[in-house]
Structure 1
Amino acid sequence: MHALNLGDRTSTPGDWHFSAMDWQHPMTLESGHSPFGDYGITPQDVPGHGVMPVASHIRACLDLIEQGLYGSAQGMRDDFIANPAYDREIMDQVWKLHTRRDWPQIDRFMGHEYLGRWLDYKQDRQHDTKARLMGHRTGHCDTP
């Protein structure tokens, strides 16, 4: 939540509760343990702490989803990101979680946020997966 209140707001608005945040104890996560790696992490000034690695608004939302904090991430598409140019990029990152045990909850959340766009994305991914599997079976595969 801290990262949603920092950063450049020209392409994504983030959150608007800056003054309500406890900046003495900002929440931090270790990106090395994340399925997203260092995606969306850049050095930024954090009040009272100086420059440190901070998640972009998109990465902050992805981290909330990955942690199962759907209530905190709710409204990400329209409120925190508010830029459809990032839809595919976000969905590509969320898809990295599709083998997890809590995928049904993640899928439901994404369906509520992105509606038909999420359904279309999943259909394309499943079609791509089937095509790759068929290529492996017939020996006509473009990927190793």
Structure 2
Amino acid sequence: MKYITGIHALNLRCSLETCGDWHQSGIQWTRPTIRDSAESVFGDFGIEKNSNVPENPGTHWVADHIRALLDLLAEQSFGYAQGMKNDFICNDAYTPLIFDKVQLLSRVSYWPEICEFMGKEYGLQWLNFLQQRNISGRLENAS
């Protein structure tokens, strides 16, 4: 399924109780970031219908805020995802779900960078999660 994601999706309302990013006027909307869910380890998780996409009339499939951030991590766009916990999600109730989904990326070659990013965002919560699941934050886990 083709859907809008990344910084564009973070700037749209979704069904989650999250903050998102509200800089809509500073975003180029004529060509939003489109991905295909069939090409992602996350499948159709977190994709919902949205009819309020600026400069794009009609109804579109759009990543919710969690999925948009997961896609940014999967694309190694850590700069755009910076502020994930406190600026975009703003709701600790979603932390276990986010950790479970991020773990799906543990076999990519840039897993250590993802772990470093998550450690900066979530601190000891992330390190405890890795320990509890016996997941390494180093490359040898990403075979």
TM-score (norm 2): 0.85
- Structure 1 gap segments, 5+ residues each: 128-144
* Distance (whole Å) between structure 2 residues aligned to residue 98 and residue 120 of structure 1: 16
Q: Quote the sequence identity (%).
A: 46
> Which residue is 1:82 aligned to?
90
DSSP-derived class of the 1:2 partner: helix
- Report how many aligned residue pairs link the two structures: 127
* Distance (whole Å) between structure 1 residues aligned to residue 25 and residue 49 of structure 2: 21
TM-score (norm 1): 0.84
2:107 to 89, 99, 107: 99
2:76 maps to amino acid: G
1:6 to 12, 15, 26: 12
Query: Does residue 29 of the first structure (1) align with residue 35 of the second (2)?
Result: yes
Superposed CA deviations along residues 19-40 of structure 1, whole A, max 9, x for unmatched, are 1111111111111101111110
Superposed CA deviations along residues 57-92 of structure 1, whole A, max 9, x for unmatched, are 010000000000001000010000000000010000
Asked if the contact 2:16/2:65 (under 8 Å) is kept, the reply is no
* Distance (whole Å) between structure 2 residues aligned to residue 87 and residue 56 of structure 1: 15
Greater than 3 Å deviation, 4+ residue runs: none
Larger radius of gyration: 1
Higher relative contact order (CA 8 A, sep 6+): 2
Query: Does residue 56 of the first structure (1) align with residue 64 of the second (2)?
Result: yes
2:126 maps to amino acid: W
Larger % of helix: which?
A: 1
